[in-house]
């Protein structure tokens, strides 16, 4: 009885080893070897990068708003420092993304993005059992301007 040999895999390098595929694509681009580029997967990867940056901005903005809500509305001096630290780290990360890709500022400033991030942040803080008695507002009570979100300590206005 003869045993059939396994068929050679027809999967591309892209499917087998993404990192190696990226290194080869970079080398081909640097060498001007455009004929052998895997254009279809290169476009897919570039689109993925663009989407990743937008997702990162939304995630960071949601975290920022979540912690701003906690700092502004939850009376817990024990937690203030941790919330402010998270606010500062998140602001720094957002500033870094916008510095590296200034064209994303329009996206970061969009009313739709802010509303999505606010809704997510509000859902997170309201779901937290430790904050059931806190009356978080249904709408953001402060500036939605991205520069204001990255600089203003809104809770200081609350304590006046």
pLDDT tens-place string over residues 49-65? 889 999 999 999 999 99
Which pair of structure tokens corresponds to residue 139?
A: 């709408």
DSSP state of 12: -
Is the model's pTM score more than 0.85? no
Q: Where are the domains of the chain?
A: 53-158
Sequence-ordered list of residues with C-beta below 8 angstroms from that of 25, at least 6 positions apart, any chain: 37, 38, 42
Query: What is the reported pLDDT for 9?
Result: 58
Neighbours of 52 (CB within 10 A): 10
Is the pLDDT confidence value at 129 over 90? Answer: no
At 11, is the pLDDT very low, low, confident or very high (cuts 50, 70, 90)?
confident
Q: Give start and end residues of each alpha helix (H) in the chain.
A: 13-16, 18-31, 39-73, 77-100, 105-108, 111-127, 146-149, 154-158
pLDDT band at 130 (very low <50, low <70, confident <90, very high): confident
Taking every pair of Cα atoms in the chain, the longest distance, rounded to a whole number of angstroms, is 89
């Amino acid at each position: 009885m003869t045993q059939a040999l396994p068929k050679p895999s027809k999967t591309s390098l892209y499917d087998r080893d993404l990192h190696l595929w990226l290194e080869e694509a970079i080398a081909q681009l640097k060498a001007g070897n455009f004929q052998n580029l895997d254009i279809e997967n290169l476009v897919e990867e570039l689109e993925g990068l663009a989407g990743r940056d937008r997702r990162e901005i939304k995630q960071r903005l949601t975290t920022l708003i979540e912690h701003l809500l906690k700092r502004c509305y939850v009376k817990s001096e024990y937690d203030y420092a941790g919330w402010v630290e998270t606010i500062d780290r998140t602001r720094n990360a957002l500033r870094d993304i916008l510095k590296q890709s200034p064209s994303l500022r329009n996206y970061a400033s969009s009313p739709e993005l802010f509303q999505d991030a606010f809704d997510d942040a509000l859902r997170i803080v309201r779901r937290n059992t430790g904050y059931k008695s806190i009356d978080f507002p249904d709408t953001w009570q402060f500036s939605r301007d991205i520069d204001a979100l990255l600089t203003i300590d809104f809770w200081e206005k609350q304590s006046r």
